[in-house]
Each structure stands twice: as structure tokens, then as C-alpha cells.
């Protein structure tokens, strides 16, 4: 292993989803099923919001953005499992590996930023209902959406630059189903102390804690406003308008905390793989489900569409 240096590492070997050969086929098929449900569910959300005029509000436009992000991120993270499964080869070129790292990190950051923008939307809707339409106009929404997509790229680029300039690896086997940055940093024999400090400051503080803090503050104000409402039904109704978003937020942050903020997370890769699988496969699948099961507007739009379909065929 130690003798492998930059001249021999021209590709990586992704050891895949499990080291137990017997489980490979069932797990791959399960992931394929989850992936197809993810595409189906998120496409449904996109189409429903397009079709239904009642859903032409900032909240649902943002939800569309989230659905698009979900489809992109699950494609970016899961496609290697299918490539391995159907081609039987677990080699990945350095270029593909770097592309995957970049996409994975950027899209995850985008998700957090978009959820922050969505919590701001909920904050204005609940705390300033009179000014909502004026404040969350097309320009503001578009700017917030563009900022969420672009800031992810801006945040990730320096970190990615460092990772992609690694010249020396201790080996080329990655015990994972995707090229993630932690295993790669572990594998590198370049000096990674700068990167680790940078990751800590940028990744955890700017990338993670900032959106978390902003989302948290929005919800503190939202909850204070809700508690001030006199009637029980009014309180429940108002809370209802942000409950889907809150569920998605709690879900995403919880999985990220469990996956990345544990001490020595790089050292327990075997369990990390299952967590990553949950993070990257299940979370994008659950987002549209949470929104369609918990949300009356989406549910009624869906029912209407299904009725029209029945009439047509
Ligand atoms: C993303 O959100 C913006 C702002 O609300 C909206 O104009 C745009 O249509 C959305 N894009 C998609 C693909 O849903």
C-alpha cells in the first residue's frame, strides 16, 4: 500500500455499498427502487406546482427548487452504485471522483441554503402576514433562489480546489459507494492540516452553523408569533403552514449531524456508509412525501390531477 504514489494512482476503486457479497444485489436493487421513487415523487411536485395555480406562491416555487435539488443530488450520489451494479466494475477515474465530490458537496450546501431561504419565507409569512405579498415579490424570491444555488458553489470551490490538488495517495481503495471528501482526505499523503482547519471553519461554521442559526432564529420568531395567537384553531392553522418545512429541516440537519459531526467520523467508515446511504438516498425521497402528506394544498392539487386523469382515460 505505502509504495503506491502519485504515479500509480490514476483511478480509485470504490468498494461499494457493502463488503458482504451476498447483500450487494438486494441492497443495490433497494437503492434503485428508492432512486426511482425519488425521481417520481419530485417530478410530481414539479408538475403539480407548474399546473396548479393555487400553488403559485413563493413557498411552492422554493419547494420546486428543493425538488430539483433532490433529484440532482440523489443522481450525483447514487449513480455510481448503478454503474457498479450494471457494469460490474468498481473503478472510478480521478476526474469522475472529483466531479462527484464537487457535486455532492455543492448540492448539500445548496440544500441547507435553500431551506434557510424557505424558513425566511415562512418567517415573513407568519410574522408579517400583511406585508407578505409585497415583501416576498418575484424579484426577492428569484434573488433568494439564485443566491442559494450560487453560494453553494462559492462556499465549496476553495475546499474543492485543495482536495483536487492532492498529488499523493496512500492507496486507491475507497471503502464507500461514492467519492466523499472524508475518505479521500484520509487517503491522501499530502499535508492536509490546512484543509482540516479550513474544513472546520468553512464547512462547519459557514456551511453548516450559519444556515442552521438563521433557520433556528426564524423559527424562534415564528414560534413566538404563533404562541401569541389567542385561538387554538388559529394557532394550529398557522403552525400547519410551516410544519412540512420544519419536518424537512429537522430531518436534514439531524442526518448531517449524525454523519459528519461525530468525533472521528472518518475512522468509522463502515457505519458511515449506511448513514450516507440514508442521507443521500432516503432524505431526497422523503422530502416530496413529507410535503404531499402533510400539506392540504398539495394533497388537494394531487387529488384534482388524479380525477382529471381518470376522466381522460
Ligand atoms: C426556483 O425558485 C424561484 C423563485 O421562487 C422560481 O422563480 C423558480 O421558478 C424556481 N425554479 C424551479 C426550477 O422550481
pLDDT digits (tens, 9 = 90+) for 69-105: 999 999 999 999 999 888 888 899 999 999 999 999 9
Which of 141, 287, 288, 291 to probe ligand 1 with, by most ligand atoms within 8 A of CB?
141
Confidence grade of residue 270 (pLDDT, cut at 50, 70, 90): low
Q: What is the DSSP string of 260-290?
A: HSSTTGGG-HHHHHHHHHIIIIIHHHHHHHH
Q: Is the pLDDT of residue 4 over 70?
A: no
Burial of 126 (0-12, 13-18, 19+ CB in 10 A): buried
Residue of the CA atom closest to atom 7 of ligand 1: 142
Across 57-66, 118-127, 291-300, least confident range: 291-300
Pocket of ligand 1 (CB under 6 A): 58, 61-62, 64-65, 68, 141-142, 145
The CA 57 to ligand 1 mean position distance, Å, reads 10
- Which residue from 47, 40, 43 is spatially nearest to 308, judged by alpha carbons? 47
What cell was used for 247? 419536518
- Cβ atoms of residues 288 and 295 within 8 Å: no
Which of 65, 67, 149 to probe ligand 1 with, by most ligand atoms within 8 A of CB?
65
pLDDT at 21: 82
What cell was used for 139? 424579484
The CA 129 to ligand 1 mean position distance, Å, reads 22
Which of 121, 122, 145, 150 to probe ligand 1 with, by most ligand atoms within 8 A of CB?
145
- Which residue from 261, 248, 253, 258 is spatially nearest to 291, judged by alpha carbons? 248
Q: Is the pLDDT of residue 1 over 50?
A: no
Burial of 11 (0-12, 13-18, 19+ CB in 10 A): middle
Domains of the chain: residue spans and CATH: 2-312 (1.20.1070.10)
Q: Which atom of ligand 1 is nearest to the CA of 63?
A: 14
pLDDT at 2: 46
Residue of the CA atom closest to atom 12 of ligand 1: 65
CA atoms within 13 A on the CB side of 53: 0
CA–CA distance, 135 with 141 (Å, rounded to integer): 9
Q: Is the pLDDT of residue 265 over 80?
A: no
List pLDDT tens digits, range 220-229.
999 999 999 9
Angle between helices 94-127 and 232-260 in degrees, nearest 10: 160
Q: Which atom of ligand 1 is nearest to the CA of 67?
A: 14
Average pLDDT over residues 119-126: 94
Q: Is the pLDDT of residue 143 over 70?
A: yes
Q: Is the pLDDT of residue 6 over 60?
A: no
High-pLDDT (> 90) share of the chain, %: 42
Full-model pTM:
0.88
- Which residue from 62, 68, 60 is spatially nearest to 298, judged by alpha carbons? 60
The CA 145 to ligand 1 mean position distance, Å, reads 7
Average pLDDT over residues 279-284: 86
Confidence grade of residue 170 (pLDDT, cut at 50, 70, 90): confident
Q: Is the pLDDT of residue 46 over 60?
A: yes
Computed on alpha carbons and rounded to an integer, the radius of gyration of the chain in Å comes to: 21
Residue of the CA atom closest to atom 11 of ligand 1: 65
The whole-chain average pLDDT of the chain stands at: 87
Residue of the CA atom closest to atom 8 of ligand 1: 61
Range 23-30 contact pairs with CB under 8 angstroms and sequence separation of 24 or more: 24/85, 25/85, 28/81, 28/82, 28/84, 28/85
Across 57-71, 132-146, 182-196, least confident range: 182-196
Q: Within 10 Å of residue 165's Cβ, how many Cβ atoms?
A: 9
CA–CA distance, 297 with 312 (Å, rounded to integer): 23
The CA 241 to ligand 1 mean position distance, Å, reads 19
CA–CA distance, 183 with 16 (Å, rounded to integer): 13
Q: Which atom of ligand 1 is nearest to the CA of 46?
A: 14
* Position with higher pLDDT, 33 vs 206: 33
Burial of 58 (0-12, 13-18, 19+ CB in 10 A): buried
- Cβ atoms of residues 44 and 288 within 8 Å: yes
Determine how β-strand 11-14 pairs with β-strand 91-93. Answer: antiparallel
Q: Is the pLDDT of residue 268 over 70?
A: no
CA–CA distance, 188 with 196 (Å, rounded to integer): 12
Any bridge partners for residue 294, and if so which?
none
Determine how β-strand 173-174 pairs with β-strand 11-14. Answer: parallel
- Which residue from 127, 121, 291, 113 is spatially nearest to 220, judged by alpha carbons? 127
Amino acid at each position: 500500500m505505502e509504495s503506491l504514489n502519485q504515479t500509480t494512482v490514476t483511478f480509485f476503486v470504490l468498494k461499494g455499498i457493502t463488503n458482504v457479497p451476498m447483500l450487494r444485489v438486494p441492497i443495490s436493487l433497494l437503492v434503485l427502487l428508492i432512486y426511482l421513487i425519488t425521481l417520481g415523487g419530485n417530478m410530481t411536485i414539479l408538475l403539480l406546482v407548474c399546473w396548479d395555480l393555487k400553488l403559485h406562491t413563493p413557498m411552492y416555487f422554493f419547494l420546486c427548487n428543493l425538488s430539483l435539488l433532490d433529484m440532482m443530488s440523489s443522481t450525483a450520489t447514487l449513480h455510481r452504485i448503478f454503474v457498479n451494479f450494471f457494469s460490474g466494475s468498481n473503478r472510478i477515474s480521478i476526474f469522475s471522483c472529483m466531479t462527484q465530490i464537487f457535486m455532492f458537496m455543492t448540492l448539500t450546501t445548496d440544500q441547507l441554503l435553500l431551506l434557510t431561504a424557505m424558513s425566511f419565507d415562512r418567517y415573513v409569512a407568519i410574522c408579517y402576514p400583511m406585508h407578505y405579498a409585497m415583501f416576498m415579490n418575484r424579484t426577492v424570491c428569484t434573488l433568494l433562489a439564485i443566491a442559494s444555488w450560487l453560494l453553494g458553489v462559492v462556499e465549496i470551490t476553495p475546499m474543492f480546489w485543495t482536495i483536487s490538488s492532492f498529488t499523493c495517495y496512500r492507496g486507491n481503495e475507497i471503502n464507500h459507494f461514492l467519492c466523499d471528501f472524508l475518505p479521500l482526505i484520509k487517503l491522501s499523503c499530502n499535508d492536509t492540516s490546512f484543509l482540516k482547519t479550513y474544513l472546520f471553519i468553512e464547512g462547519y461554521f459557514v456551511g453548516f452553523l450559519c444556515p442552521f442559526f438563521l433557520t433556528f432564529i426564524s423559527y424562534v420568531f415564528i414560534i413566538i408569533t404563533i404562541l401569541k395567537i389567542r385561538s387554538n384553531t388559529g394557532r394550529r392553522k398557522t403552525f400547519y403552514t410551516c410544519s412540512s418545512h420544519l419536518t424537512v429541516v429537522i430531518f436534514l440537519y439531524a442526518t448531517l449531524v449524525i454523519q459528519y459531526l461525530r468525533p472521528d467520523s472518518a475512522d468509522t467508515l463502515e457505519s458511515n456508509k449506511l448513514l450516507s446511504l440514508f442521507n443521500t438516498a432516503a432524505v431526497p425521497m422523503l422530502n416530496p412525501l413529507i410535503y404531499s402528506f402533510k400539506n392540504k394544498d398539495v394533497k388537494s392539487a394531487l387529488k384534482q390531477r388524479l380525477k382529471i386523469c381518470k376522466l381522460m382515460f
